[in-house]
Every structure is written in structure tokens, then in C-alpha cells.
Structure 1
Amino acid sequence: MKSHTKRSWGEAFWALTNGRVITMLFLGFSAGIPILLIFSTLSIWLREAGVERSTVTYFSWAALGYSFKFVWAPLIDRLPLPGLYAALGRRRSWLIVAQTAIILSILWMGLTDPAQHLTMMAFAVVALGFSAATQDIVIDAYRIEAVDTDLQAMMSSAYIAGYRIGMIVAGAGALTIAGVIEGEGPYMPLAWRVAYGCMALAMCVGVLTTLLISEPDVPRKDSKYFHQTSDYIRFLAMFALTVITFIAANVWAGSAVSPLGTRLTASGMTPELAGFVTGSLQLAIAVLLAVFVAWLTTLIGITPREMVRETYIAPVKDFVDRYGKVAIVVLALIGFYRIADIVMGVMANVFYTDIGFTKEEIAAVSKTFGLFMTIAGSFLGGVLSVRYGVIRVLFLGALLSAITNILFAIMAQIPANTVMFAAVIMADNLSGGLATAAFIAYLSGLTNISFTAMQYAIFSSIMTLFPKVIAGFSGTVVDAVGYQAFFIGTAILGLPVLLLVVLAGRLTDVEHPKAQAGHAKNG
């Protein structure tokens, strides 16, 4: 592994007081609020309003923007916002726009009664998902550009802590507000209106932070395009046509491949695997048609070819040029690093219930105590990364993530024991927070300052794609082999990651100042 300039423990802990690090705590808080307003908090509201359970689950699709944010991340890298750019700079101007859109979307949701206007609520939720994903893109870019690589782990630690606190506010906080107003009475839209209004107010923390911080001082070559209004209109027209095509093609392909899923299930394939096959085919069709439309609009001159190349192709080409064949190892590490955590995590709550823990015990130990352990683990990961280097902590995080899954296998063989439960959650969440902080720092070191938003958006999408696909089969595996074998299996899945970390550490260099942004080693 690459040698790292060893810092003292005092220097490592002193990094916690860095102004940029403290800034990430507040920006993380701003990023953590929207997600639960789309998922669990909204789900409870919709059920109280009498919305069918099957319809409630459809609303989770609004969060798909988080998975596909790399599609519009290049716009944030290349497009300076007229007016705001001169006053605030590239990152802060985009942050203000995204945060304003989030606040307006939350207020829109709060002023809409789903019992009366469900379609309008759906539009508001989609607007929130898109706005929140945009804010994430900008915060990631700001975090990478604001400090040198040796502080990236500490920045990610503060971001994780703020994000988790934001989730508490949007989850427990919003539900408490609605519950206090509603009491034991019937469904009351006003209660949710006030709760979501308070969440919009909480977003002002992010707005104030954006206004108070300074723009990152990084060398950046501005695009020769996007300086005229016509440039914006032409590029956004291409982008809009491509997105509309993707949505329409996805709907059409869903109907087209549905009979295939029925036939595969009838032929003996498990429903989960049949769903994966048809879902993958549906996505592939939609992506291919969207790419075709983007190519066609460029061919007929709606958008100049060089503009598309600079925005979408150049970031990918830059990564491949910098890493060459080593890119395969790097991408494999990105795609598999969190596999042990994610595959196990899908079954965690079901497991706790199945072995006899009550909802109150799960909430107290896993959700509350576990949350603080995750935050502690993330700060520990940041301090250790400053002290020993990102690669060493990346290896430690991968090792601990695999080992702690074995603890779940042990817990599966004994009667429900709260002390054991707390000990396992402490170990698992501490290691998870540590690993995540180091991993985010590693991904940050891989990016080129010229394409920060685009490249990091791609990395973060790859990070969860394959593990989530595998996790979809977790329930089937547990039914077939039981919890003990399942947890041991997830630990084994994490072992090849250790080899990938060692190879990546030897073949790449991500622990030097950000001006060079990670590169493959020569010789």
C-alpha cells in the first residue's frame, strides 16, 4: 500500500476543528432532511390519509433521482447559472437553487392533502426527489474541492454525522410534531401541514450555511460553451428530450416485458430472479432509446457535438486515461466494497423481529443507539484516516464489516438477548461508519477537479448498484439456508474486497493534494 505521511494524534483530532469540516456537518444536515420526507414519514402520512398500501410504495420511486443523478451532474459541472454565478460562484449558486427548490417542494407537499389530491402530491414528491438529488451532487462536489485529500475522510465524517441528524429530524421529529397536533383524533391534514412546514424551516440551516461559506478556490477551465442564452436552450432541449424519452420508454418497456416475466415464472424460475431479468431488460431498453435520442438530437444539430462530448464523454474519458487498465480494479472495488453491509442490511430488521425482539427494542437499540454508533464510527474513521491514511482504514473497514456479520450469525443461534443485541449493533455500526468515511474519502480522491460532480456521481451510483441487486435475493437465500448460513455467506462475500483494497492501494495514488486528483502509479 502507498506510504502515508503519518500525523500525530493531536493533528488528527485537531482536523475536527477545521472550518470546512464543521461546514460539512451543517450541509450534511441539509442533505439528510429530504430523504425520509419521501420514504418513511411520507408513507405514514399516506396511510393515515387512506391511500392504498400498493400505491404508497410507488411513491418511493421518486427517490430514483438519487440513483440516476449522474445524468444531470455534468450540467452542474459545466453550466454557470446566469446572475447567481457572478455573485456566489459555481457551487454556492447551484446549492442555493437546489435548496430553494427543496424548500418549495416540501411546502408544496405540506399544502397538498393526499386524500384529495394524490396526483398533485406525486408531482410534489418527484420535485423533492429531483431537488434533493441535485443538492447531493453539489455538496459532494463542494466537499471534494474545498480541502486537500488528506482531510477528505474528516469531511465525510462530518457529512455523515450531519446527514444522520437530519434524518432524525425528518423522521422522528416530523412524526412527533404531527402526532402532538393530531393526538388520538382522526386524520388531520393540518398536522402534517405543520410538520412539513417545520421541515422546510429546518432547511434554512443549509441555506444560511451556503450564504456564509466561501466558494472553493480551485483551478478550473471554464467551458467555451454555455455563455449565450442560446447555448443553454439548445443543451437543455436535448437533455429534456432525452429524459422524456427515457421515462416514456421505461413505461412502454414495462408493459412489453411483463408477459416475459410471467412465462419465466411459469417455467420454474423464482419470482425474484424473473423480476430481476425483466427489470434489467426494461431498464436496458429505456437507456438505449434515451441514448439514441441524445445521439439523434446531436446529429441533427440541436446540440453541437463538441458540447455533448465536453459534458458527458470527457469525464469518462479522463478517468480511463488517468487509470488505464487499473480502472478495472478501481471500478471493481467501488462496486463491491459495501457488498457485505448492504446484502446483510436488507434482512436486518426482519431478522430482529424473527428472533423475538419487540418494535420498541429494535427502535431503541438498532435505530437510536445504532445511530450514535454510526456517527462515532464515522468520526473514528476520519481521525484514523488523517493519522494512518485512507487506504489502511479502507482495509480495516472492509475487514471489520465482514467480521461483524459473523456476530449476527452467532446471535441467530441464541435466544433474544438485549445485551448481545446492543453489543452486535455497536460493533456493526462502528465498523460501518468507519468504513463509509474512509470509502467516501477514497472516492473523492479518484475524481478530477475538472469533472468533480460528474465523476463522483458515477462512483456513488456504482457503489450501491450491484450490492442492491444481490440484496434483492436475500430473502430467498434466508428461506433456503437459514439466517446463520446467510450471515456467514455475507461475511465471505466481503473477503475478496480485502484483495481489491490491497491492489488498489498498490496501483493507485489518492493520498496526495487534490490538484492532481488520483492517478494510476507508473512503474
Structure 2
Amino acid sequence: MTGPSEPVARWRAALAVYGKPRILGMGLLGFSAGLPFLLVFSTLSAWLTQEDVSRTTIGFFSWVGITYSIKVFWAPVIDRLPLPLVTRLLGRRRSWMLVAQLGIAAGLVGMAVTDPQLDLRGLALWALLVAFASATQDVAIDAWRIEAAPGSWQGAMAATYQAGYRIAILTAGAGAFYLAADIDWPQVYLVMAGLMGVGMVTVLFVGEPDVVVTSGTEQREQRVVDFLARSPHWPRRLQQITAWLLEAVVCPFLDFFARNGHLALAILVFVAIFRVTDITLGVMANPFYLDMGYTLEEIASVAKIFGVGMTIGGAVLGGVLVARYGIMRPLLAGAVLAAGTNLVFAWLATRSDPGLVGLAMTISADNLAGGMAGSAFIAYLSSLTNTAYTATQYALFSSLMTLPGKFIGGFSGMAVDGFGYVWFFVLTAIAGVPAILLVTYLMRVANVDRGVAAPERL
């Protein structure tokens, strides 16, 4: 009796990656990363609205989310600074994750015991602690994800992370609303604080990754030592501070440009524009659903709950494709589908009575493509980092990948008012063409498929 054919065996091996302990642990860490997000945004807004807090004040509360956009500024600290006692017990990455999770839980408990009508400023400070600790946890989890698995597993790591994150978003969003219908909001936040225990227990059981510093990295950092040796007249304390700043802040950026040479700028441009097409569309998605006549209940059921399932399915598919074909080909397919599925929205906008079937078809296409593209893109970003500076470099990429889309998205309402929904969706599809061209260029010029030949580290 003959065994399975080679293609079938390869597909089985690609699917089997989801049974690896660290990939399963990644899903639980994704849940821990996603849980705090809505609790300082839309869920908090609902609580404040029921407490009769002014809409202006509620708007100011959204500023705590700036911490997620500026996490690159303290990422070098997470890369380099050991935490007393905890780092010795758990290692560099897990120690920062655990401390951040404790900070999130403490902040949520603080929010729960603070009355918005009596101490609104105190509530804002507790929310700021949650957001800061959450952004810190994101940096540490991203670094762990990249270092804990080889490149060929990064698609699956990204997929399980997205799945856990999306489930957490449902828990902190719809789940919190369901709870608030039976108990008061402070109790809801206490429940959410308790759920942070999922991440804490996971941190205790997953292993600390082994990090290998390349000779090129050691040589670049030796130049820092040589530079300071030529400045013996500097005070010793100044030499120590300068050495830390150069190694933690300057070296990560020099390393990226040294490793990628003339392709470095093209890569950064690609990172910046890859998500322009879906971020720009996303700004107008809910207004579009409402203008098409769908009810809030229909939007919640199809776009939110059903849509999350489709995103998770797309993420898993993306992880399998990365394990089977490497990163670049699924990345190109994701770029094409992310732009192309915007045309499905244009089709929906032309229908006079699309019904729920039309909405479900549109959501299915968009979220499947988005989930698949997300897994491939996260795997690609992971492949760009040097494990000596994982937290700093990935924080840079994750900040850069949303800025252009958020800026251009600010003009999306003007485009809808000026051209209508059909042409707006066509324009968002066209906005994805530069990313398609750039990934094609990078595949041809680099002549390498990142992640295929990555060494096993587990």
C-alpha cells in the first residue's frame, strides 16, 4: 500500500503546524492582547454614556489610545532593560508580558472601583494605565512570537494570534454588553480583569525563546564600544547612557538598513501602504451598511459576529499557505485579494435590494481576504526583524503600517460625498495597486522567499 502523494503530505505538514504547543499558546496570548482594547474605547464609551457623561468628555477619553501609536518610543526599553527578579525567573520576553498583564488587570480593577460621576479624572488615569500596559504587552508579545518560532511557522503564529485577538474583541465588546444587561458596569470590568488571568497562566507555561545574535550585529555593537573608547574624557555615567542609547535606539535602525541595503526604503514604503486599501474602506463600512438600509441587529450579526468567524477562517488559511508556500506568494495573493474584494462592496452598492445574502457575500469575501492577507503580512514583518532588536523593529513596523491608511481614511467621507459609494469603493481598490506592484518588485529583486529556509528553534 503506497503512502500519500508528495503534495498531500506537504499539505498535511502545513496543517500539522497548528498542533505545535507554542502556536496554541500564541492564540491564548492573542486573547490577552485583544481583551483590553475595547475596554478603553467603545465599551468604555458605552459605560460613560449610561453615566450621562458629556459627549465631548467621552471624545477626550479616546486620547488614551494614543499610547498604542507611540509604543515604538519605549520598545527599546523592553528590548534591553531586565526587570528586577522577574527577568531572572521568566526571561526577557515573558517577564515584560507578565508585568504588563498585571498592570492591565490592576488598571481594570481601578476603573471598576472608580465612580465616573465622582472621579472622572481618576477613571481616565486608570484607563491610561490599562492602555499603556496593553501597548507594552503588545510589544512584548510581538517580540516573543517572532523569536519563539521559525519563519515557516510565522503564518500560523499570526493566524492563531488573530483568532485569539478576535475572540477577545467579541468578549470585551458584545460579551461585555450582554453582561452589562444583567450586572452593573463596575462588575463587568472586574470580570474582564479576571479574564486577564488567561494570559498570565499562559506566560507561566510557554517557554522563553532562545535568541541568537549574529556576528554582524555583534560587530555593529562593537563599533559603539570602540567609539566610546575614543572618548575617555567623558564622565563614566555619560558613557554608560550614551552606550545604552546607541545600542538600544540607534543600532536597531542601522541594523535594518545594513541588512536590507538598497531595498530598505522600498520595504518601508511597502509596509506603509499595504493596509491603505482596507483601512480606508473600513472608515466608511458602518455608514455604508446603515445607508443601505441594514438594521443595527443585522450589522451586528453579519458584519461583527459572522464576520469575525470569516476573518479567523481566512487567518488560518493564510497560515497554512505560508507554511506550504513560504511568505511572499501568499503575501502577493493577499495584496491582490485585499484590493479586489473592495470591488465586491462596489457591487453591493449598486444593488437596490441586496438583502442579507448580499451583505453576507460581501462580508465573507472581505474578511476571508483580510484574514489571509493579515497572516501573510504579519509573517512578512516578522521576517524583517533581527532577534537582537525584535521589539524595537517590530514596533516601528506596526506603527508605520497604519499611519498612511489612517491619514488617508480621514478624507473617506469627502470621497463618498463627492463621488458616491460605488466610486469610493473602486478608488479604494485602486489604492491597493501600488502595494501589489511593490510586493511583485520585492519578490523579483530580492529573489528570496522569506521564511522557507528559516531554522527550527523549538
What TM-score comes out, normalization by structure 2 length? 0.91
Query: Do residues 367 (structure 1) and 360 (structure 2) align?
Result: no
1:133 aligned to which of 109, 132, 135 = 135
Query: Do residues 214 (structure 1) and 245 (structure 2) align?
Result: no
More divergent stretch after superposition (501-510 vs 106-115): 501-510
CA contact (8 A) 1:62 1:129 kept: yes
Query: Do residues 468 (structure 1) and 409 (structure 2) align?
Result: no
Partner of 1:453: 391
More divergent stretch after superposition (304-313 vs 502-511): 502-511
Matched to 1:346, the amino acid is: V
Partner of 2:451: 511
1:94 aligned to which of 93, 96, 106 = 96
Matched to 2:194, the amino acid is: L
How many angstroms apart in 1 are the aligned matches of 2:17 and 2:50?
A: 46
CA contact (8 A) 1:329 1:503 kept: no
Change (3 A) 1:402 1:514: same
* Correspondence list, 1:37-186, <5 A: 37-181=39-183
CA contact (8 A) 2:211 2:388 kept: no
How many angstroms apart in 1 are the aligned matches of 2:455 and 2:407?
A: 35
Query: Displacement of 1:219 after TM fit?
Result: 2.1
Partner of 2:3: none
Runs of 4+ in 1 over 6 A off after TM superposition: none
How many angstroms apart in 2 are the aligned matches of 1:504 and 1:130?
A: 35
How many angstroms apart in 2 are the aligned matches of 1:507 and 1:102?
A: 44
Change (3 A) 1:81 1:443: same
Partner of 1:12: 14
2:344 aligned to which of 378, 384, 407 = 407
Query: Do residues 350 (structure 1) and 352 (structure 2) align?
Result: no
How many angstroms apart in 2 are the aligned matches of 1:411 and 1:466?
A: 26
Offset from partner CA, 1:395-451 (integer Å, 9 cap, x none) = 111111111111111111112421011001000000000000000000000000100
CA contact (8 A) 2:149 2:456 kept: no
CA contact (8 A) 1:449 1:515 kept: no
Partner of 2:263: 326
Which 5+ residue runs of structure 2 have no aligned equivalent?
A: 1-6, 219-234
SS in 1 for 2:351: coil
CA contact (8 A) 1:6 1:388 kept: no
CA contact (8 A) 1:449 1:514 kept: no
Kindly tell me the number of residue pairs found equivalent between the two proteins: 430
How many angstroms apart in 1 are the aligned matches of 2:373 and 2:281?
A: 15
Query: Displacement of 1:515 after TM fit?
Result: 6.7
Offset from partner CA, 1:448-476 (integer Å, 9 cap, x none) = 01000000000000000111100010001
How many angstroms apart in 2 are the aligned matches of 1:513 and 1:169?
A: 38
Matched to 1:473, the amino acid is: F
Query: Displacement of 1:300 after TM fit?
Result: 10
How many angstroms apart in 1 are the aligned matches of 2:166 and 2:374?
A: 13
Partner of 1:484: 422
How many angstroms apart in 2 are the aligned matches of 1:81 and 1:97?
A: 9
Query: Displacement of 1:511 after TM fit?
Result: 2.1
Query: Displacement of 1:65 after TM fit?
Result: 1.1
How many angstroms apart in 2 are the aligned matches of 1:7 and 1:97?
A: 42
Query: Displacement of 1:302 after TM fit?
Result: 9.4
Change (3 A) 1:453 1:418: same
SS in 1 for 2:200: helix
Query: Displacement of 1:494 after TM fit?
Result: 0.5
Offset from partner CA, 1:228-254 (integer Å, 9 cap, x none) = xxxxxxxxxxxxxxxxxxxxxxxxxxx
How many angstroms apart in 2 are the aligned matches of 1:332 and 1:418?
A: 38
Partner of 2:194: 201
Partner of 1:230: none
Query: Displacement of 1:213 after TM fit?
Result: 1.1
Matched to 1:377, the amino acid is: G
Offset from partner CA, 1:308-365 (integer Å, 9 cap, x none) = 1111111000001111220111011100111111111110000000111111111111
Partner of 1:238: none
Matched to 1:37, the amino acid is: L
How many angstroms apart in 2 are the aligned matches of 1:37 and 1:513?
A: 40
CA contact (8 A) 1:137 1:453 kept: yes
How many angstroms apart in 1 are the aligned matches of 2:337 and 2:402?
A: 19
Backbone CA RMSD of aligned residues: 2.1
How many angstroms apart in 2 are the aligned matches of 1:407 and 1:84?
A: 51
CA contact (8 A) 2:70 2:399 kept: yes
Partner of 2:331: 394
